[in-house]
Amino acid sequence: MVQRLRSAAVFLVAATASVVLATPVHAAPAPAPVTVVATGFDDPTGLSNWAGRFYVSESSTGEISGFAPGARPYTRLNKIPGPSGVDRKFETFYFVTGEAGTPGASTLYSTVTGKPRHRIADLAAYELANNPDGQQQFGPDGAPLDALSNPFAVLAGRGFDNRVFVADAGANAVLVAAPDGKVSTFFVPPVVTTGPCKGRPNNDPQHTGCDPVPTGLAWGPDGNLYVSTLSGEAPGQGRVYVLDPFGGKVLGTISGFSAPTGVAVGDSGAVYVSELLEGLPAGDGPPPAGFDPSTVGRIVRVDRAGVRTAAQVTMPLSLKVVDGQLYSTAWSTAGIFGFGAHLGQVVRVDGSAFVRS
């Protein structure tokens, strides 16, 4: 999935020649629609919260940073090979590393303060041995046809549930690790065959269409597991699946998103979905004159009645609802797109930011 997102970099890098990068505009009345609560991150991909503190995984620097609202971020963990998702439960941190071609890639880890990190599971090895989506993995030359395992998000079980869930974008599956480290397949979203995905070539003729590509995980107030899927970045084909947390049965599907990369659920049951590249010009040519990269990205809100509104947040990726407030990473791919270091943010998105699109 990361490789496909990088294909968009040509637009944003070219745009910097004539555009001054903008930070979210703060409205005068309180609360502001979008408020920066922390900044200085490098490609923040994962966002977690525990006991009043936030934790951010930074894929470019191999760090997991922590901060309390209003305080300066600090490095909590470092020297991690490409961390993509992070979650904390009690004193334990769980994090996954994406497919990066480096030792330790595509692995689920845990660590407790003051102790060495522990490798829970080699997810690339699980993919090779089990191939959850059933697609052809290698071409005639022996080279992988696509990303085999690229863990993108991690989520600890609720309460006394000690399982750990992983959205593996490369494997096209949600995996679950038991306390003893045994991995199993929890949910395999179907290949998307509607709209522009219909008949799209894939790894083999039996799986034509857009790969689902799980990206985000969240617990809802109903106790169910919510999973966002990128759906090959095809416009309007992204999905959010609502799953039974134990059997993995599909309880509901919310459709109509464009390349969703994260999901969160509010206390009222409203579902929030980040669309990292919404507003990015299509095609492989240069962007139009005057194109402003700060306008790329939005978060879509779907309330319990199905009404949709959207908030413009620059390159949002991971979402979290904390004490009734929505938080998001922002400028989440600024480094990948060549803008430079330390531009990533965590922002609070107020309800007033959401308007009918």
- C-alpha closest to that of 35 among 351, 355, 356, 357: 351
Contact 272, 224 (CB under 8 A): no
- C-alpha closest to that of 312 among 325, 329, 326, 294: 294
Lowest mean pLDDT among 21-30, 54-63, 212-221, 229-238: 21-30
Question: What's the token pair of residue 173?
Answer: 């599956």
> How far apart are alpha carbons 85 and 349 in whole angstroms?
21
Q: What is the DSSP string of 114-145?
A: TS--EEEEEHHHHHHHH-TT----B-TTS-BS
> How far apart are alpha carbons 124 and 11 in whole angstroms?
32
* pTM for the whole structure: 0.90
70 CB contacts (<8 Å, ≥6 apart)? 37
Q: What is the pLDDT of residues 161-171, one digit of tens each?
A: 999 999 999 99
Question: What's the token pair of residue 356?
Answer: 């009918």
> How far apart are alpha carbons 316 and 199 in whole angstroms?
30
Residue 21 has pLDDT above 80, yes or no: no
> How far apart are alpha carbons 80 and 64 in whole angstroms?
8
- How many residues does this entry show for the chain? 357
User: What CATH fold (topology level) applies to the domain 2-353?
Assistant: Neuraminidase (2.120.10)
> How far apart are alpha carbons 144 and 134 in whole angstroms?
14
Report cis status (omega within 30 of 0) of the bond before 31.
yes
> How far apart are alpha carbons 256 and 302 in whole angstroms?
11
Residue 208 has pLDDT above 60, yes or no: yes
191 or 29, greater pLDDT: 191
Task: Determine the 3-state secondary structure of 13 from DSSP.
Answer: helix
> How far apart are alpha carbons 242 and 108 in whole angstroms?
23
Contact 272, 326 (CB under 8 A): yes
CA 64 to chain centre: 15
Contact 50, 156 (CB under 8 A): no
Burial of 180 (0-12, 13-18, 19+ CB in 10 A): exposed
27 or 348, greater pLDDT: 348
* pLDDT class of 100 with cuts at 50, 70, 90: low
Average pLDDT for 140-159: 91
Q: What is the pLDDT of residues 211-269, one digit of tens each?
A: 999 999 999 999 999 999 999 888 999 999 999 999 999 999 999 999 999 999 999 99
52 CB contacts (<8 Å, ≥6 apart)? 68, 69
305 or 335, greater pLDDT: 305
Mean of all residue pLDDT scores within the chain: 87
Burial of 342 (0-12, 13-18, 19+ CB in 10 A): middle
